[in-house]
Amino acid sequence: MKHIFNKGTDSTDLTLLLLHGTGGSERDLLPLADVIDPDANVLSVLGNINENGMARFFKRLGPGVFDEDDLKFQTKELNSFLDKAAEDYGFDRKKVVAVGYSNGANIAGSLLFHYSDALAGAILHHPMVPLRGLDLPDLTGLPVFIGAGTNDPICPPEESTELENLLSEAGAEVTLHWENYGHQLTSTEVQAASEWFAAQKNRLD
């Protein structure tokens, strides 16, 4: 997978996995990493799927309708890529925290739905429920931040609360933060995620 890796001040420290939204690039969320943890390693990935010139992490059948078979396949591919990247760059595979927006948050959520040890934590900006009908792995104690919009036309509030409930039922410790700016990723939401991360960092380390 095409990506950018920036080594932090300590290669054994946390690695932020940046996952952009539809039509984005591997450079889109780099400014978020500077806000969240300027000392961490950064692994920013470009989605493998090209949808009418827009990069995505998995196919969809229509707006808000995921191609579930491809989502499962791409989730497995991303998890394997993380294993390989950890070997190549020498970072701790057990200390990867995803930071995803929209489509990127959805595939990060899918990692959580499929693997108990893919991520040490996650910041999910405006995610949907990636899949339904799955038995989630044991996520006991895994910290998750969900940034959601009360008036998000792409990700309705019901999606956010359902995702919170599903992750919590699997044992994750979920913080749900609400904004009132639709699907937009705002500076106040990023700041809230940064403050949440700072409070969680000792546990993640």
pLDDT 10s digits, 23-76: 999 999 999 999 999 999 999 999 999 999 999 999 988 877 899 999 999 999
pLDDT 10s digits, 180-203:
999 999 999 999 999 999 999 877
φ, ψ (nearest 5 deg) of residue 166: -65, -45
| Helix ranges (DSSP H) in the chain | 30-36, 68-89, 103-114, 157-169, 187-204
Catalytic residue among 44, 110, 152, 160: 152
Across the strands, what pairs with 16? Answer: 42, 97
Does 80 qualify as catalytic in the annotation? no
pLDDT (0 to 100) of residue 15: 96
Q: How many CB atoms lie within 10 A of CB 159?
A: 18
Yes or no: say if 183 and 154 are a contact pair by the CB < 8 Å rule.
yes
Q: Note the pLDDT of residue 202.
A: 76
Is 152 assigned a catalytic role? Answer: yes
Residue percentage of the chain with pLDDT more than 70: 99
Domains and CATH numbers, the chain: 3-204 (3.40.50.1820)
Q: Give me 179's structure tokens.
A: 């904004």
**Annotated catalytic, 183?**
yes
Question: Of the candidates 134, 108, 110, which has an alpha carbon nearest to the alpha carbon of residue 121?
Answer: 108
DSSP notation for 142-160? -EEEEEEETT-SSS-HHHH
Q: Does the structure show a pLDDT above 80 at 12?
A: no
The predicted-structure confidence for 173-182, as pLDDT tens digits, reads as follows: 999 999 999 9
Which positions ≥6 away from 75 have C-beta within 8 Å? 58, 107, 110, 111, 113, 114
Instruction: Pick the catalytic residue from 3, 92, 183, 194.
Output: 183
Q: Residue 83 — very low, low, confident or very high, per pLDDT cuts 50/70/90?
A: very high
Q: How many residues does the chain have?
A: 205
6 Cβ neighbours under 8 A, 6+ residues apart: 33, 41, 42, 44
Q: Tell whether the model's pLDDT for residue 204 goes beyond 80.
A: no
Question: If pLDDT is split at 50, 70 and 90, which confidence band does 11 have?
Answer: low
Catalytic residue among 102, 114, 125, 160: 102
